[in-house]
A and B are shown apart, each in its own frame.
Chain A
């Protein structure tokens, strides 16, 4: 049983590293939307994964079922995600503003179940594949290779991360969001439209989740249950990075991807998902506010 050569070992490690970067970008995108909503609204959004699935199905509808342009599908998914998010906020969350966090959590669990079964009803249980304009042949760089689609996905994810950061730190809406996060009542006294801020926050968070689904749908497959795993990962990332911490969610996404990839590659692939949660248990034991608690929190 001759193992790989020493060069083989280096090549394998480089491939793992590249895989982790590809995965990390999308994990970060998933985490940011969730952390933003929790940070500003104190809503534990169990429907986050369903917005992810909604984004993926929107791309499928536009690019595969209607046969229109793939990039048009991506744009449609982000816009539709924002609109659906705004609708959920106005219909479900606005009347619950004074309810406690557990009640809101139950409402969001209900929304999750309704949305998932609606997807199953509309699209059926058979997984859908989205064809993209990217070439099938992978991009080969020396010993490692990667599909063009994933290169695009990471680039798009990083672009969206930077865009959300700019939105929060460089715009008037962002300033109002940060003020609401620090103290909603005072912000209201200063003339901030709190209702509008909440709707905008939920819409932006939802749009980010839909964008993640739209980008990953073509990489993986689109199924009605695809949101469950996405939700799980998103919560893990948010806990890792600290609740409400955008920088933390970004770095947390990359850490989770790296731990999973290296854990699966060198320790045991059967415990791939356990690796990520092991790290989370350690974080909760030793730094319960998240790895980046002292770093900047939405502002």
Chain B
């Protein structure tokens, strides 16, 4: 009897192990690293939810290579150290062959050495610091526009805006300083003078000092690069100081609906460079896909304001799925090679990776389109420029 029990246990264990193996074979794991808690929790959760919609959609159509796409979502806690730690966990313990992440440029940069170490590719969905694709990391494939690409796209319309002289107010990190540099360079080529370049710490809440200085300058336009929380504060504080200059924001993390709700009248007459236009999906690169995504987002009860972030997760997972399909197997090196060959429609243009960075170890960079929107009387309008 004792022996029987032992055999039965063994059989059960073997069965359980078999089921576990079968389950593992039935799915392809994709690592997702986003700030789900901490300062950027709101944006990170939007991107993660967009990623889930893409995965559910793909799985409903039969998955990838006949297997289910399984997202393993990890929290970088809005902290670069955590970002590197969870990347290692995803690669070593979960054995994911590809990762999507990690929202902020600082988090992405912290993960990059781990990708080199373990030879696993990462799709970058949001970060826009230039050096992510120029530092010679062949495991990086980026679908978000770095500020240099954004500046080049903006150059096509900048003459029509008739800017004489511009001041900058940017967040003091790779993202903000990079934007000031790239837009400043582009402005000079278009005979637009560059005045003050003021910075603010990422968690700073009181920008009155910088704004008082900008108020006293003779520039007619103020270019701002930071995320929605700080923009809300800047608009309110600029209104309190009576600052009357044209304001243009860059970077695509402005979340215009949240600005309208929280900054109120102070957000009126501001102009924003965005990468997705949920207010008018018809101008998107693939209107039918955009409409379907927006409908699913609403159906799941997520806030409309999150769409300007969540589409990045949606496009990112679809790009990864396309690469795995092309690779024919869930193997890091095969997926890395496949990223170079794929071409698909994103919400803001064709996703196709071009070589960026030093020869021999190039990163992939896709060059999406940008959209200019304006807030007028508490509404988002798409000016025709």
Contact = CB atoms under 8 A, between A and B. Distances in A.
Interface of A: 1-4, 8-9, 11-12, 15-16, 19, 22-23, 117, 120, 124-127, 129, 131, 136, 138, 140, 145-147, 150, 220-221, 223-226, 228-229, 260-261, 264-265, 268-270, 272-273
B296 interface: no
Given A19-B212, A220-B205, A270 B242 contact: no
A269 B209 contact: yes
Interface residues of B, number: 48
A219 to B, nearest CB: 8
A210 to B, nearest CB: 18
Given A19-B209, A126-B42, A260-B209, A146 B215 contact: no
- Residue of B40, B236, B305 with most partner-chain A CB within 10 A: B236
Given A126-B258, A224-B41, A145 B241 contact: yes
Interface string B220-231: 000000001100
B37 A127 contact: no
Contact of A225 (B38, B199, B242, B258): B38
A123 to B, nearest CB: 10
Given A120-B41, A138-B239, A145-B242, A272 B212 contact: no
B244 to A, nearest CB: 11
Contacts of A4: 216-218
Interface of B: 37-45, 78, 172, 193, 195, 198-201, 203-206, 208-210, 212-213, 215-218, 228-229, 232-233, 236, 239-242, 258, 261-266, 303, 305
B37 A120 contact: yes
Q: Among B42, B209, B236, B242, find the residue whose CB has the most chain A CB atoms closer than 10 A.
A: B209
A272 B209 contact: yes
A269 B37 contact: no
User: Which one of B198, B205, B261, B305 has the highest number of Cβ atoms from chain A below 10 Å of its Cβ?
Assistant: B205
Nearest to B194: A1
A26 B278 CA distance: 40
A-B residue pairs, 9 tightest by C-beta: A125-B41, A129-B262, A147-B240, A264-B209, A125-B42, A270-B199, A15-B212, A126-B42, A12-B216
A16 B205 contact: no
B240 A145 contact: yes
A151 B193 CA distance: 36
Contact of B201 (A15, A146, A272): A272
Given A225-B38, A269-B200, A125 B45 contact: yes
